[in-house]
Amino acid sequence: MGDRRRAVPGTDRVLSDPGVAAAVERLGHQLVVRTVREVAQRARDGLLDPEGVVTETLAALPRSASGMRPVINATGVLLHTNLGRAPLSRAAREALQVAAGTTDVELDLDTGDRGRRGASAVEALLDAVPGAEDAHLVNNGAAALALAATALAADREIVLARGEMVEIGDGFRIPELLTSTGARLREVGTTNRVRLDDYRQALGADTGFALKIHPSNFVISGFTAEVGVAELRELAVPVVADIGSGLLRPDPALPGEPDAATTLADGADLVIASGDKLLGGPQCGLLLGRADVVHRLRRHPLARALRVDKLTLAALEATVRGPRPPVAEALHRSGLAERAAALADSLAAAGVPAEAVDSGASVGGGGAPGVVLSSAAVALPARFAKQLRLGEPPVMARVERNRCLLDLFALDPDDDEALRRAVLAAH
């Protein structure tokens, strides 16, 4: 009997297969060749029949050249940071396709001269928040706060309440960010209570601005007191408000969540927010407020290091001008219980032990801390959680009371069939 290794097809022969050749066009030569060689080595080691090299190569190749994979978010957390926070609207995705080519991102087509970068995205924000005299964009909310602190308070003091010196995800601490810019912090009040006089007594010749921070991932309750922007405006210094999750206008679904329009109307000189949270757009940091303040930030040298690319500008503008994005749709969607019941019945009919149950969802991403949103889920045995996570497509569920819950809050009704197929495959 001859050496089976001689039957293993060479790399060039595998690459000539029509399916593999098409994969080269889609994924690139280097990635495909590496996969071919890995599969061929398995065949030489006797772990694979040589005749199966082409088939195994095609099975081992990723669907795209990116390492990211689409995931079904059945956690009940609308803005799941580990899943990329806000899913983009169809309008934003189409805008990304346009922006991926050559565009007029920094060109005035009428004159042929250089134009203001991202002017149309800024105009969209100002149309959405008329109370803002000007707006500027940077690459995330932390960058927006860092730019404000650097431009307005480097070598000076920022006055803020002790109860707002927060730490958010992955160990990121607001005080450390602020002091890294060269600003000094002047803490006022106690952890649970602060008064306007505390701010007033802390002001001095070195004060750069008073800062109001959204508490993000926690709530202080009980014997508490805080000072709102409407009161802080009485101070003889600029007021900067970081509202966190990025609502541009009030939303009846989240009546306690701060929004840019109201915060500006209350007297903030500058409002900072994230674009990839409740706004429902791409990751970016929004700075809206007085024209002179925004101009000062835009002209600061650090602004260049923090500027957003054309893809972000395009997706943000489409989010603001276009139809309601998926995040807003989820907040105002009805019929979750009926969907859960239909999905559970379908799965049960196929032999899966599934049950429709009431559930509590959350905004996530630092938005609406402590707020529980009414939702519905399909309950499965806990073992399904790992099987679904490792499936194709992966499904992220929530394990609660030894049950795997598939919460429908963050999912569009069109996702229900894909979720059903994923559960059947995991059964």
The domain of 381 spans 72-83+329-426
pLDDT at residue 65 tops 80? yes
> Looking at residue 174, which CATH number applies to its domain?
3.40.640.10
Q: Out of 58-62, 183-187, 303-307, 397-401, which region has the weakest mean confidence (pLDDT)?
A: 58-62
Same domain, 149 and 249: yes
Same domain, 79 and 148: no
Instruction: For residue 341, tell me if it sits in a domain.
Output: yes
pLDDT recorded at residue 167: 85
Question: How far is it, in rounded angstroms, from Cα 224 to Cα 190?
Answer: 10
For 115-147, write each residue's pLDDT tens digit: 999 999 999 999 999 999 999 999 999 999 999
Cβ burial, residue 170 (10 Å; 0-12/13-18/19+): exposed
Q: What is the band of 218 on the pLDDT scale with cuts at 50, 70, 90?
A: confident
First to last CA, the chain: 43
% pLDDT > 90, the chain? 88
Q: Which two three-digit tokens encode residue 306?
A: 């923090």
pLDDT recorded at residue 171: 78
> Looking at residue 416, which CATH number applies to its domain?
3.90.1150.180
Instruction: For residue 2, tell me if it sits in a domain.
Output: no
Q: What is the 3-state secondary structure (H, E, C) of the chain?
A: CCCHHHHCCCHHHHHCCHHHHHHHHHHCHHHHHHHHHHHHHHHHCCCCCHHHHHHHHHHHCCCCCCCCCCCEECCCECCCHHHCCCCCCHHHHHHHHHHCCCCCCCECCCCCCECCCCHHHHHHHHHHCCCCCEEEEECCHHHHHHHHHHHHHCCCEEEEEHHHCCECHHHCEHHHHHHHCCCEEEEECCCCECCHHHHHHHCCCCEEEEEEECCCCCCCCCCCECCCHHHHCCCCCCEEEEEECCECCCCCCCCCCCEHHHHHHCCCCEEEEECCCCCCCCCCEEEEECHHHHHHHHCCCHHHHCCCCHHHHHHHHHHHHCCCCHHHHHHCCCCHHHHHHHHHHHHHHCCCCCEEEEEEEECECCECCCCCEEEEEEEEECCHHHHHHCCCCCEECEEECCEEEEECCCCCHHHHHHHHHHHHHHC
Same domain, 314 and 335: no
pLDDT recorded at residue 66: 83
Same domain, 238 and 386: no
231: closest CA among 186, 184, 179, 188?
188
pTM comes to: 0.90
Over residues 102-112, the mean pLDDT reads 93
Q: What is the band of 244 on the pLDDT scale with cuts at 50, 70, 90?
A: confident
Instruction: For residue 6, tell me if it sits in a domain.
Output: no
What's the whole-number average pLDDT of the chain?
94
pLDDT at residue 71 tops 70? yes
pLDDT at residue 4 tops 80? no
Same domain, 275 and 343: no
> What residues does 270 pair with on adjacent strands?
240, 289
Instruction: For residue 4, tell me if it sits in a domain.
Output: no
pLDDT recorded at residue 2: 54
For 8-61, write each residue's pLDDT tens digit: 999 999 999 999 999 999 999 999 999 999 999 999 998 999 999 999 999 999
% pLDDT > 70, the chain? 99
Same domain, 100 and 194: yes
For 312-362, write each residue's pLDDT tens digit: 999 999 999 999 999 999 999 999 999 999 999 999 999 999 999 999 999
> What residues does 381 pair with on adjacent strands?
403
Instruction: Give how far Cα 180 sits from Cα of 24, 145, 186, 304, Å.
Output: 46, 11, 15, 18
Cβ burial, residue 44 (10 Å; 0-12/13-18/19+): middle
Same domain, 236 and 304: yes
pLDDT recorded at residue 300: 97
Same domain, 303 and 276: yes
Same domain, 312 and 340: no
For 152-208, write each residue's pLDDT tens digit: 999 999 999 999 998 877 778 999 999 999 999 999 999 999 999 999 999 999 999
pLDDT recorded at residue 1: 46
Question: How far is it, in rounded angstroms, from Cα 316 to Cα 88?
Answer: 9
Q: How many domains does the chain have?
A: 3
